[in-house]
Structure 1
């Protein structure tokens, strides 16, 4: 293992050109980045989440609008993060941006919540979904036993952790293969929907806006369900140090992947609602499976299989990207330094991957993890809001800082950075719009789901004493100083 402490921290920057430090290999190109983003985003969400969007929106028409808005928001967010990712070209995503903008305590609180809840729970959901659908063909008349589901989920978590520890190229190859598999599944769904509509059967769309609910709190929760399916649009920023040319690869990967996902999601939902009524969608816990049972006959087994493939690829991408967050947090002194070590032969952050694997396995003590989605979304929205505010703050604080990519509202959306000029107001409009939307998503669900929001805030605040004792004051406590490895 190669130890990366505070003295070698600067050497990790890919812009520094250091030769003597142990760094992760720059082995990812544009298409690898596209596969990571698409592979993470298209997980279990599109196959099960249409129900959540419909519950809060109330109608087919508004549901489709929500799905399009979620894609647009993800695109705008990705453009803002492209500026942050190329201005601060360090792995770790939000942790690095919040640390640079607002200091170590807010960054640690993000790391704390991601450590305890966001990353391991998100990966556990993917693993449990994979296990459930992989086992379903063997349990035609009943649900698979919870113990068996958890066992299969644990096995796939350990297997993918091994793949990510052994070779980055292996991990990206797995991502590319299973990204292809999930696209095939969606092509089947979309093709079936086109066939139904092609026969002239538009009965499900006769009153598309019947039952629409426009309460702001419900709209926000509908966006939560949709954005949960788009989760992962910012994950490529976690591995920016491993991109061959981040200034070129990051924005191009965003340009290709986010519009692709949005179009695919919209077409898939059009297909769902062409076949299933709103009542049938609301009665289903897995819309794609209900869709397959209705339309595919003896080939209905394909849907559980492809959902399993989709979540397998999503879990692989989640493990790959989220482990880098803990690696960077340890490198910055917020976690034990052992997590900032790299295997000198494989050039992968093995301790961070193993630690993430352990935390994810701990989440498998129960298979009832779906109640966590709302407050996971609240926490993610809160820290994405903070990162976006950091972008605006850094534009004010460091106006002359190098910005190879700048988020703007000009014709190209992203352009090579230039000094501020008379178009400053236009240039800054895009992140301001995104910040306002994030504030909406954080504020309105408070009165709709106060328990989940209260739990989320409690978990965030519990990180304050941990930071004070484990990070700020640790040099005065010898045992803690030894644990952190400094």
Structure 2
């Protein structure tokens, strides 16, 4: 839907816009920067927590490795589905745009509502608390040190992103390189200590039940989560429509390799029993290898990991708000693209304010981090399932549209992806219901439905 300030041409059959106006995204991202953004989103604090959970659930080193390999395969299947959607319909709105074309604007509005109020802003708040926790060990700011660090980093990263995508992507590239280097240091420490770790049982000497292995996949795929955000930058990657394909594939392959090396290293350094019993895998390993200074250095490293994910999540999250503003006149203030800065300024500001509100809420919650994770997971996987289904719907609705890239082994690949999303939706809802967090998600989405009705009525008047 065009606004009075638009000078863009009409939407094409594929849904892409010949965007010649000043407030439209431009192709300014190199493939390397795009890979850094994706890797930065995915590699976060999760990799320092989930390996011990997976080890405890599987109870076998062989099945632990299988789980991480399978996680990479499933993520690649999903990434290939996204590659077809992103090359056929390149748009700064990503998933929002795919859902709008497949199911209509109400579905895409609810998705954008979920992203703005729960998924992205919740992730930013959670990561800000992780950053605050670890930075407080380096520089303690007093009784509310964690909250002060969290608020400060949300504001600081928002200001960096407001400067423009070039500055944000440069920061992201540097942070990702530091993050990956730190992970490799942990890997080296693991192999250095390999001779001192307790002996582990032979590979595949025991097998977990199907239910327990399924639970391990929930943890694994949670750690792989975030690769889908590549769709939001597809319209800004240099090199034509197909340029996003190698970016997505290389990112997933690189992530799988890093995660495998990390898990093999901590297995070598701590042994299966040591890994399963650890609450801070990397800290235990670095402390064992290098003493107290190693543990403190790891605190800075984990803070950098959280910082990397915050920055990357901000980059892609603001683009959902931007797409929402472009399509709904009542929210058009978020649909302006600042030509000089190459970023949606208003969309960033809204995202920052909501994230700060969640940080404020978390200050008075003793288990705020856990609660936020619980109520974001069901919403995230449910909408990801719908995006997978949209691939089938759009092939039927738009048979004549040129597809620069088609997902291989169709329909098996998207079916695998959709079944995985359905399973994770069920698992996360079941887990959240046991703690009551799913009701918070339902309340937030109910408010979203009310907002949809109000916005729809406002659109009719516009």
Which residue is equivalent to 1:417? none
Using the TM superposition, name which of 4-13 and 75-84 deviates more. Answer: 4-13
Which residue is equivalent to 1:351? 346
Aligned pair in 2 of structure 1 residues 4, 295: CA closer, same or farther (>3 Å)?
farther
Which residue is equivalent to 1:468? 453
Which residue is equivalent to 1:286? 280
Which residue is equivalent to 2:174? 177
Query: How far did 1:434 drift?
Result: 1.3
Using the TM superposition, name which of 428-437 and 446-455 deviates more. Answer: 446-455
Alpha carbons 2:161, 2:168 under 8 Å: kept: yes
Using the TM superposition, name which of 186-195 and 19-28 deviates more. Answer: 19-28
Find the aligned partners of 1:326 and 1:159 in 2 and give their Cα distance.
20
Alpha carbons 2:375, 2:438 under 8 Å: kept: yes
Which residue is equivalent to 1:222? 216
Query: How far did 1:373 drift?
Result: 1.9
When the two chains are superposed, the root-mean-square deviation of aligned CA atoms in Å is 2.6
Find the aligned partners of 1:195 and 1:74 in 2 and give their Cα distance.
31
Which residue is equivalent to 1:149? 146
Which residue is equivalent to 1:190? 187
Find the aligned partners of 1:132 and 1:21 in 2 and give their Cα distance.
41
- Matched residue of 1:466: which SS? helix
Using the TM superposition, name which of 432-441 and 380-389 deviates more. Answer: 432-441
Aligned pair in 2 of structure 1 residues 233, 212: CA closer, same or farther (>3 Å)?
same
Find the aligned partners of 1:204 and 1:95 in 2 and give their Cα distance.
49
Which residue is equivalent to 1:254? 248
Which residue is equivalent to 1:360? 355
Query: How far did 1:191 drift?
Result: 1.2
Under a length normalisation based on structure 2, what TM-score does the superposition of the two structures give?
A: 0.89
1:273-332 CA-partner distances (Å, limit 9, x unpaired): 222355554554432122211222254122112111221111111111111110111111
Alpha carbons 1:51, 1:284 under 8 Å: kept: yes
1:342-397 CA-partner distances (Å, limit 9, x unpaired): 22322311111111111111111225212332332222111111011010111122
Structure 2: runs of 5+ lacking an equivalent: none
Find the aligned partners of 1:20 and 1:444 in 2 and give their Cα distance.
45
Aligned pair in 2 of structure 1 residues 339, 146: CA closer, same or farther (>3 Å)?
farther
Find the aligned partners of 2:125 and 2:330 in 1 and give their Cα distance.
22
Which residue is equivalent to 1:388? 388
1:384-423 → structure 2 map (5 Å cutoff): 384-409=384-409
Q: Is residue 2:297 matched to residue 1:308? A: no
Aligned pair in 2 of structure 1 residues 467, 117: CA closer, same or farther (>3 Å)?
same
Structure 1: runs of 5+ lacking an equivalent: 410-426
Query: How far did 1:148 drift?
Result: 0.9
Query: How far did 1:21 drift?
Result: 4.6
Alpha carbons 1:41, 1:230 under 8 Å: kept: yes
Aligned counterpart in structure 2 of residue 333 of structure 1, from 304, 328, 341: 328
Which residue is equivalent to 2:379? 379
Which residue is equivalent to 2:419? 436
Which residue is equivalent to 1:112? 113
Find the aligned partners of 1:433 and 1:189 in 2 and give their Cα distance.
33
- Matched residue of 2:167: which SS? helix
Which residue is equivalent to 1:167? 164
Which residue is equivalent to 1:421? none
Alpha carbons 2:58, 2:216 under 8 Å: kept: yes
Aligned pair in 2 of structure 1 residues 5, 212: CA closer, same or farther (>3 Å)?
farther
Query: How far did 1:159 drift?
Result: 1.0
Query: How far did 1:428 drift?
Result: 2.2
Aligned pair in 2 of structure 1 residues 380, 473: CA closer, same or farther (>3 Å)?
same
Alpha carbons 1:9, 1:331 under 8 Å: kept: no
Alpha carbons 1:134, 1:305 under 8 Å: kept: yes
Which residue is equivalent to 1:235? 229
Aligned pair in 2 of structure 1 residues 439, 15: CA closer, same or farther (>3 Å)?
closer
Alpha carbons 1:64, 1:266 under 8 Å: kept: yes
Find the aligned partners of 1:45 and 1:383 in 2 and give their Cα distance.
21
Query: How far did 1:138 drift?
Result: 4.5
Alpha carbons 2:16, 2:91 under 8 Å: kept: no
Alpha carbons 2:377, 2:428 under 8 Å: kept: no
Aligned pair in 2 of structure 1 residues 146, 380: CA closer, same or farther (>3 Å)?
farther
Using the TM superposition, name which of 313-322 and 291-300 deviates more. Answer: 291-300
1:74-106 CA-partner distances (Å, limit 9, x unpaired): 111111001011111111221111111001111
Alpha carbons 2:44, 2:309 under 8 Å: kept: yes
Alpha carbons 2:377, 2:425 under 8 Å: kept: no
1:20-54 CA-partner distances (Å, limit 9, x unpaired): 45322321021111111111111212122223434
Aligned pair in 2 of structure 1 residues 173, 447: CA closer, same or farther (>3 Å)?
closer
Number of aligned residues: 451
